[in-house]
Structure 1
Amino acid sequence: MRIVIAGGTGFIGQKLTDALIEAGHEVLILTRKEKAPAGKISYVKWLEESASPESQIGNADVFINLAGVSINNGRWNAAHQKQIYDSRMEATDELLRIISVLPKKPSAFINASAIGIYPSSFSAVYTEASLETAKDFLGKTVHDWEERAKQAESYSNRMAFMRFGVVLGNEGGAFPLMSLPYKFFAGGTVGSGKQWVSWVHITDVVRSIIFVIEKENIHGPVNVTSPSPVRMKDFGKTIGAVLHRPHWLPVPSLMMELALGQKSTLVLEGQHVIPEVLTEEGFQFMFPSLRLALEDLLIKK
């Protein structure tokens, strides 16, 4: 297949591109910078005044939207929040414009999303059928992002929203900072420790996207989390056990709030999310348990 990726040079995008090429697909990465083709990877300039990506894309089978300023980088002040929000809307609007003028429409449009759309809770369990929407900054951003991307249904046969949980990988995301204190014998419970961590290994993130591309009956929200979420306290204890480090130095909520501001909600609050669509469709997780995932990331290098 010929697959267009926006955000193909990011944490998830790079891994996904490698997997798609290995599977024999052709990948076109939308980028602001000029780059020479590399094997079956082509780079198409976009979001610049002189760019005309539609003229280079031609026919494409699938569009994947991973574009947007990372929520993990920088403090969530008003300016950074605006960048996070606007970057997602701008990229999605441009993808919609591109698809609208292509003579042949893609068979599928896959848009990144996040479990932050669900309200934080110690007791609720969320599946794709859950209709509650968080009212905080992240909840509003994800909700508006999905609503904007839904317009692709006018052009594409199928629309899927990949609601990523806490993605565990060594090359990006929150995990390197989460595991770092344990490497220095300073790990411990963050906040109350009762908040849920609905995590997923980066390998299963990539595999789930490819699974949804191939499963033509999957559409709408898709929770991309492992089937075994854990409480924050147990998450930390498992890191300590894998690294043979103590889990002893608590990090109070107030300290996290002072250090991270509003972004502290990413670690102080959480949601218990189940990947019901993936499991019902027969997706097999390579890393269904946290212990397996952490051993792969922290030991097998």
Structure 2
Amino acid sequence: MKIAITGGTGFVGRELTKLLVKNGHEVFILSRTDNKTSMDAKYIKWLTDDANPEKDLDEIDAIVNLAGESINNGRWTENQKQKIFNSRLQSTNEVLRIIQSMHLKPKVLVNASAIGIYPASNEKTYTEKFTEIGSDFLAKTVHEWEQTAATAEQLGIRVAYGRFGIILGKKEGALPLMALPYKMFVGGTVGSGQQWVSWVHVKDVARALLFAIENDIHGAFNVVAPNAKVMKDFGKTLGIVLKRPHYLPVPALALKIALGDKSQLVLEGQHVIPETLLEKGFTFQYPNLLNALTDIYK
């Protein structure tokens, strides 16, 4: 297949590109940089005044939209929040414009999303059937993002949006910050320790995105491992893998002072189940946290 990726040079995008190439697919990465071609993919300029990406995307089978400012970048000031929101809507609207202008349209758009759309809870368990939307900044951003992507259905395109959990990788995402206290021998329970961490190995994220392209998935699908952990147990497992103690609590107030609204990423959580992926027959390579972290730090 011919598959176009926005955000293809990012954390998930690089892993997805590697998987697609390994499986014999032709990859086109939409980028702000000048056109270039690597052994893995062809780069196509977009989101600049002189860009005309649609002319280079003939007979594309699928588009994966991963573009957007990382929620892990910097403190969540009002300006940063606006940047997070605007970057997602701008890129998604440009994807829609590209699709509209194409004579032969792709069969599917797989759009990134996040489990942050669900309300924070220590008691509830969420599957894709749950329709209540959280009231915080992240939930509202994700909801608007999904609604925008869904308009591609009016063009006859199948749309699926992968609601990512906490994506685990050695050098990017949330894990390096979570692991840092342990590496300094000061790791311990964050906040109450009872908040849920619905995590997923980055390799399984890439595999789930390809699975959504190849299978008849419509609408939301949760991209999380089937075995979520509460923060206390997540930290203990991380300590075991890193061979470091888990003993020094991190008070919620200290994190709120240090991170502001961004502290909700670690102080609040959701217990999310990947029901759609499991029902469709997807098999996780790393369903258990100990195995996932052992692979990452091997």
TM score, norm. by length of structure 1: 0.97
What SS does the aligned partner of 1:200 have?
Answer: strand
Aligned to 2:205: 205
How far residue 226 of structure 1 moved from its aligned partner, in angstroms, is 0.5
The amino acid that maps onto 2:33 is K
Distance 1:138 1:263 in 2: 10
Aligned to 1:238: 237
Aligned to 1:157: 157
Moved more, 240-249 or 2-11: 240-249
Residues 170 and 176 of structure 1 are in contact (CA less than 8 Å); yes or no, is this contact kept in structure 2? yes
What SS does the aligned partner of 2:37 have?
Answer: coil
Q: Give the alignment of 1:56-205 within 5 angstroms.
A: 56-205=56-205
Residues 122 and 196 of structure 2 are in contact (CA less than 8 Å); yes or no, is this contact kept in structure 1? yes
Distance 1:177 1:171 in 2: 9
How far residue 184 of structure 1 moved from its aligned partner, in angstroms, is 1.4
Distance 1:192 1:170 in 2: 25
Q: What do residues 83-130 of structure 1 show as CA deviations (whole Å, max 9, x unaligned)? A: 000000000000000000100111100000000000000100000000
Distance 2:76 2:82 in 1: 9
Distance 2:186 2:35 in 1: 43
Distance 1:90 1:240 in 2: 40
Aligned-residue identity in percent = 55
Residues 25 and 40 of structure 1 are in contact (CA less than 8 Å); yes or no, is this contact kept in structure 2? no
How far residue 40 of structure 1 moved from its aligned partner, in angstroms, is 4.9
How far residue 132 of structure 1 moved from its aligned partner, in angstroms, is 1.0
Residues 111 and 149 of structure 2 are in contact (CA less than 8 Å); yes or no, is this contact kept in structure 1? yes
Distance 1:161 1:90 in 2: 17
Distance 1:294 1:38 in 2: 31
What SS does the aligned partner of 1:104 have?
Answer: coil
Distance 2:242 2:69 in 1: 31
Aligned to 2:276: 277
Alpha carbons of structure 1 residues 59 and 14: separation in structure 2 relative to 1, 3 Å: same
TM score, norm. by length of structure 2: 0.98
Distance 1:179 1:47 in 2: 35
Distance 1:130 1:249 in 2: 36
Q: What do residues 204-242 of structure 1 show as CA deviations (whole Å, max 9, x unaligned)? A: 101111111111x21110000000001000000111112
Unaligned runs of 5+ in 1: none
Moved more, 238-247 or 133-142: 238-247
What SS does the aligned partner of 1:93 have?
Answer: helix
Residues 106 and 156 of structure 1 are in contact (CA less than 8 Å); yes or no, is this contact kept in structure 2? no
Residues 29 and 41 of structure 2 are in contact (CA less than 8 Å); yes or no, is this contact kept in structure 1? yes
Residues 17 and 40 of structure 2 are in contact (CA less than 8 Å); yes or no, is this contact kept in structure 1? no
What SS does the aligned partner of 1:71 have?
Answer: coil
Residues 18 and 40 of structure 2 are in contact (CA less than 8 Å); yes or no, is this contact kept in structure 1? no
How far residue 157 of structure 1 moved from its aligned partner, in angstroms, is 3.2
Residues 160 and 222 of structure 1 are in contact (CA less than 8 Å); yes or no, is this contact kept in structure 2? yes
Q: Give the alignment of 1:24-35 within 5 angstroms.
A: 24-35=24-35
Distance 2:122 2:288 in 1: 20
How far residue 137 of structure 1 moved from its aligned partner, in angstroms, is 0.3
Distance 2:295 2:168 in 1: 10
Residues 11 and 171 of structure 1 are in contact (CA less than 8 Å); yes or no, is this contact kept in structure 2? no
Residues 117 and 139 of structure 1 are in contact (CA less than 8 Å); yes or no, is this contact kept in structure 2? yes
Aligned to 1:262: 261
Aligned to 1:13: 13
How far residue 171 of structure 1 moved from its aligned partner, in angstroms, is 2.7
Residues 99 and 105 of structure 2 are in contact (CA less than 8 Å); yes or no, is this contact kept in structure 1? yes
